[in-house]
Amino acid sequence: MRTVVLLCILMFGALMAGAQDPVSPVVKDSTVKSTDTVRKKAAYVNPGKIAGRKAAFRSMMVPGLGQIGNGITVYRLVKVAGIYTGATMLTLSYIDNNKSYKEVLAELQYRAENGGKATTTGRYRNYPSEGLIPAKDTFRRNREVVIFSLAGLYLLNIVEAYIDARLKYFNVDDIAIKVAPDMINASPVYGLTKPAPGIKLTFNF
């Protein structure tokens, strides 16, 4: 009798459990999370990157304008003065070398057309032809070097304005340097037979 009652209870419990609706697992809506992530990414704007591009574009248009656009300080004014001083000196050097190159070339061409006879009014009329040929090449090479130097100064002006604008928004408070004593383990690289005292330098960003 007990067995029959126990079987009836078990069957009744099984029927009640089967009659219940299965609970569907809770599925998280991934679109909400992705949408929030996209919004956060879209809301973030890097001011240093924007300011760097503006400064570089200004320096492309007018050398030194990008530095001034980053803020007028004595340091930036000195940099602008250095840019124009260097450009002025290079320009004067180009003019001088170009003038000398043309004069030597004209002297050599005149001598080639007149059987080696020198001009009567040329600045290099008293120099031998053997010395004027390497001088002509030297003036031409110097002229080319000045042209490349002017181009390099122009590019340096743009890069410097860009870096200066980026550094304005660079937070140095997040950087920490920790110096602590340490022991250098024995290694063939150091050529040591036992640990030696040293200094451990750690950068935290």
Distances (CA, A) of 155 to 7, 148, 151, 192: 92, 11, 6, 48
Q: Strands 196-204, 176-184: parallel, antiparallel or unpaired by DSSP?
A: antiparallel
Q: What is the pLDDT of residue 138?
A: 94
Q: What is the pLDDT of residue 176?
A: 61
Q: What is the pLDDT of residue 181?
A: 75
Residues 146/94, Cβ–Cβ less than 8 Å: yes
Determine the Cα–Cα distance for residues 50 and 47; give it in Å rounded to an integer. Answer: 5
Sequence-distant (6+) residues with CB within 8 A of 69 are 54, 55, 58, 161, 165
Residue 123: both structure tokens together? 């600045």
Determine the Cα–Cα distance for residues 12 and 24; give it in Å rounded to an integer. Answer: 24
State the amino acid at position 56 in one-letter form.
Answer: A
Q: What is the pLDDT of residue 170?
A: 72
Determine the Cα–Cα distance for residues 200 and 180; give it in Å rounded to an integer. Answer: 5
Q: What is the pLDDT of residue 89?
A: 96
Q: What is the pLDDT of residue 115?
A: 86
Per-residue pLDDT of the chain (205 residues; tens, 9 = 90+): 555 555 556 555 555 544 444 544 555 555 555 555 555 555 667 888 888 899 999 999 999 999 999 888 999 999 999 999 999 999 999 999 999 999 999 999 999 998 888 888 888 888 998 999 999 999 999 999 999 999 999 999 999 999 999 888 776 555 566 667 776 665 555 454 566 666 676 766 5
Size of the chain in residues:
205
Sequence-distant (6+) residues with CB within 8 A of 120 are none
DSSP H helices in the chain: 2-19, 30-43, 47-61, 65-69, 74-113, 129-168
Maximum Cα interatomic distance, the chain, rounded to a whole number of Å? 145
Residues 180/199, Cβ–Cβ less than 8 Å: yes
How many CB atoms within 10 Å of residue 159? 12
Residue 189: both structure tokens together? 């690289």
Beta-bridge partner residues of 183 = 197
